[in-house]
Structure 1
Amino acid sequence: MSLESPRMPLPPHLVAPDLVPEQQADNASAVYYPVSDTRMVAGEGIHLYDSDGRGYIDCASATFNLSLGYRHPAVIQAIKDQADQLIHVTSGFQTAPINALAHRLVQLAPKTISKAHLKVDGGSAANEGAVKMAQRITGRRDVITLFRSHVGQTVMMASLSGNAFRKQPLAQLYHGGLQVPDPYCMRCFYGQDPRSCGLMCVDRINDFLEFASSGSVAAVLVEPISGNGGNIVPPDGYFAALRELCDTHGMKLIFDEVQTGIGRTGRMFAAEHFSVDPDAITVAKGLGGSGAQVAAILTSDELAGLPTNDHSFTYGANLLAAAAALATLDVIDDPDFLANVRATGAHILGRLEALRSTHPHIADVRGVGLMIGVEIVDEARRPSAALTNRLAERALDHGLVIRTSRYGHGNVLKIRPPLVLTLEEADVICDRFTELLLAEGI
């Protein structure tokens, strides 16, 4: 296949807004956080366009939240239709979109799930709410998370992160966190071979409980596949062993599916891949389809009953977001759609794996569905965040938007395009990625 030029005119049906000169002059001067010099003006499907007419394939699905890509027609229409009726109402009243979304999520979730808490507006709030539920029902305090984990941005969730750099700026930390080694077989904390280790990464949690915890552990909060931590896929049997350990010690198992949920792995929930039923699942990001801000905590009957005043947010249970989520689920909850996610993901994995033998800076390629990671190392085979960041920056010149692990501290390139990807588009991604490696001489 010939490589499509990444520079292309903006499609005529996508009209970029014209800005008056005073708006153009210093548009980003009031923005608090750093932004690049590139100004994006339009998007459609997997494609994103800047003000210079340059087109990109967005391999990050924005912030991994555009599961259906830019401007998916079903999502846009659902938002427009709902806006004509009712945009928001206090969640103390019933509404058809919220009732329908809660029912639909419970139907799709593992059999342990019976309730959906929609009064949250993002992944951080969803994870924190699930922790509160576990603490309430167990009467305990501590939460176990994994090395490299990133479970949110609130003070509690940042404190529970498995990265020191996330905690360093905080003047005060939540002190109920306990981080344990993650199931990172390639760089096993215990120096073991996964074929003979006996899942030491689970078994040794018993030692952490006895010697490093407060003796009051409420829950284990874990991503089925690490999102920001490096796209680490646990070995077979890991979650079955973790479920058994939680049951033995009376701890609740919470799956953070903010990144893995809603079709990203080729199943509605990543829990399906591992044949484990958690006590709670958190979802956000991809549930909004084309960018609607929506999140949920899905729980068992046992975890139900947290008083509303203990965890509710004004813009949770928003009707526009619920309408978008229902439209998103209508699209993704289709066996053919999910089969295509698995097929395109396997195709990309196969092509990238083939590059490993000729590109020594690629140490590993791993993933499930369209949640793929490429681990980058230097000449001495050591993890190289610098090289990884350089590749992500230069990828823009080749028409690819790629993000890196651990907010630039990690050495994994994350390939997570919108789930509407076709096999032909998957090949374009791989062609451009190959061109990037060759251009950078690695």
Structure 2
Amino acid sequence: MVRGEGIYLYDENGRRYVDCAAGTFNLSLGYSHPAVVEAIRKQSESLIHTTSTFQVDPVSRTVRRLVEESPPNLVQVHLKVGGGSEANEGAVKMAQRATGRREVITLFRSHHGQTMMMTSMSGNAFRKAPFPILYPGSVQVPDPYCFRCFYGQDRQTCGLMCVDRIDDFLEYASGGQVAAVIVEPISGNGGNVVAPDGYLPRLREFCDRHDIVLIFDEIQTGIGRTGRMFAAQHFGVEPDAITVGKGLGGSGAQIAGILTNERLAGLPAHHHSFTYGANALAAAAAAVTLDIVARPEFLANVRATGEHIMARLRDLQRRHRAIGDVRGVGLMIGMELVQPDNAPAVALTGELAERGMGHGLVLRTSRYGHGNVLKIRPPLILTHAEADLICDRLDALLREVTA
């Protein structure tokens, strides 16, 4: 690949691809957004980096904007991290320090990062298998995956058993020292599982009842991806912390952070700070990204183009038996592929992603190729015409592969 512009990526032969994965779901404003490029250029002329001991204007502006756009209970921001894995690990440390407890509850298909702590605390055995020593103290519980409910229930009558049964895990599977629950409001790598109505408010009640810190991992869902600045706002829940990364950099600047309430504030820097955290150049990109994404018309377009793609994909579902489910919010959309008996069609999903390049589509699949969900998460600057282009190419791809 040699260059990118907007939602498009170009290879050395001049061929153009629609990037349906927005890089690694981090190019919220697409490739080389002019405002981000200008912010980086201007900042590079004065200060690229200084130790986070000092205050610098772009970092201060980013912190202020994050607090302004977050749920009202989140009033502190920690930017001294280099990526989402470090942000999630830092949020866990804050919860452990605040509660005096050590354990963490996560979901079966969760993916909270690549550090050893977050690999250990995430779901998916294949990610942990090669490592002889894992970080102790996490309990994985079934996710709210209504299409393949762990408990064999129907959402209309289940009473949200997937939350209520966490009490049993707390009583019988934990060590009695649970500090936090960390959850992706919509699973990123785990198959675009959208928390059903009522799940996250009920989880908030569960955490309050047991004095457990609730952390929303919004590395993928945050910064406008759901058509709201944060998925917490879409679901109407106030967590104790939100972690952000990926899309915060706009066109690829490396920046991440932890938004917290007052209870979690005050973690000493020597417990969790990294050399390239709070980088001035990246913060300049983040500040302008927040200004753009926060515009009501921008977020309205994310919701509208997302709804349009969902409608198109549901039409494809009626015509292609291999599509078992379509789910998403805003421009965080997943299409689950199934075999005739409804079993996961993992090989078909991988083939679609591989052959998508021939149709000018960059596609990613769930669970690092072990899953059966195609992820549709283009840059948030997507237009209706470009949404139709994606869907038309997906239709042609499906017809070719399933024939």
CA-to-partner distance for each residue in 1:100-140, whole Å, 9 max, x for gaps?
11111011100110100000010000000000000000000
CA-to-partner distance for each residue in 1:261-312, whole Å, 9 max, x for gaps?
0000100000011110000000000000000000000000110010100000
Output aligned runs, 1:335-354, within 5 Å. Answer: 335-354=296-315
CA-to-partner distance for each residue in 1:360-383, whole Å, 9 max, x for gaps?
100000000000000001232210
Cα drift, residue 170 of structure 1: 1.2
Aligned with 2:338 (options 372, 377, 400): 377
Alignment-derived partner of residue 355 in structure 1? 316
Output aligned runs, 1:385-396, within 5 Å. Answer: 385-396=346-357
Can you give the 5+ residue segments of structure 1 that lack an aligned partner in the other structure? 1-39
Aligned with 2:35 (options 59, 71, 74): 74
Mapped to 1, the partners of 2:216 and 2:31 lie a distance apart of 27
1:240 corresponds to 2:201: yes
Output aligned runs, 1:104-123, within 5 Å. Answer: 104-123=65-84
Alignment-derived partner of residue 128 in structure 1? 89
Mapped to 1, the partners of 2:138 and 2:348 lie a distance apart of 32
Mapped to 2, the partners of 1:385 and 1:111 lie a distance apart of 41
Mapped to 1, the partners of 2:7 and 2:317 lie a distance apart of 26
Output aligned runs, 1:204-283, within 5 Å. Answer: 204-283=165-244
Query: RMSD value over aligned CA atoms?
Result: 0.6
Cα drift, residue 175 of structure 1: 1.0
Mapped to 2, the partners of 1:62 and 1:73 lie a distance apart of 17
Alignment-derived partner of residue 266 in structure 2? 305
CA-to-partner distance for each residue in 1:137-162, whole Å, 9 max, x for gaps?
00000000001100000000000111
Q: Percent identity?
A: 68
Aligned with 1:157 (options 118, 121, 141): 118
Alignment-derived partner of residue 330 in structure 1? 291
Question: 1:138 is aligned with what amino acid?
Answer: T
Mapped to 2, the partners of 1:120 and 1:353 lie a distance apart of 39
* Normalised TM-score (structure 1): 0.91
Mapped to 2, the partners of 1:331 and 1:240 lie a distance apart of 29
Alignment-derived partner of residue 25 in structure 1? none
Alignment-derived partner of residue 143 in structure 1? 104
Alignment-derived partner of residue 181 in structure 1? 142
Alignment-derived partner of residue 24 in structure 2? 63
Output aligned runs, 1:284-303, within 5 Å. Answer: 284-303=245-264
Question: 1:192 is aligned with what amino acid?
Answer: Q
* Normalised TM-score (structure 2): 0.99
Mapped to 2, the partners of 1:375 and 1:87 lie a distance apart of 43
Cα drift, residue 169 of structure 1: 1.1
373-382 vs 287-296, greater mean Cα deviation: 373-382
Count matched residues: 403
1:315 corresponds to 2:276: yes
Mapped to 2, the partners of 1:441 and 1:325 lie a distance apart of 42
Mapped to 1, the partners of 2:23 and 2:103 lie a distance apart of 33
Question: 1:336 is aligned with what amino acid?
Answer: E
Aligned with 1:196 (options 138, 157, 177): 157
Cα drift, residue 390 of structure 1: 0.4
CA-to-partner distance for each residue in 1:18-48, whole Å, 9 max, x for gaps?
xxxxxxxxxxxxxxxxxxxxxx001100000
Cα drift, residue 93 of structure 1: 1.0
Question: 2:155 is aligned with what amino acid?
Answer: P
Mapped to 1, the partners of 2:367 and 2:102 lie a distance apart of 27
Mapped to 2, the partners of 1:258 and 1:215 lie a distance apart of 28
Mapped to 2, the partners of 1:286 and 1:262 lie a distance apart of 6
Cα drift, residue 399 of structure 1: 0.3
The structure number with the bigger radius of gyration is 1
1:413 corresponds to 2:335: no
Question: 1:101 is aligned with what amino acid?
Answer: T
Question: 1:290 is aligned with what amino acid?
Answer: S
Question: 1:239 is aligned with what amino acid?
Answer: L
Give the 4+ runs in structure 1 shifted more than 3 A. none
Can you give the 5+ residue segments of structure 2 that lack an aligned partner in the other structure? none
CA-to-partner distance for each residue in 1:371-407, whole Å, 9 max, x for gaps?
0000001232210111100000000000000100000
Cα drift, residue 441 of structure 1: 2.5
**Alignment partner of 2:132: what SS?**
coil
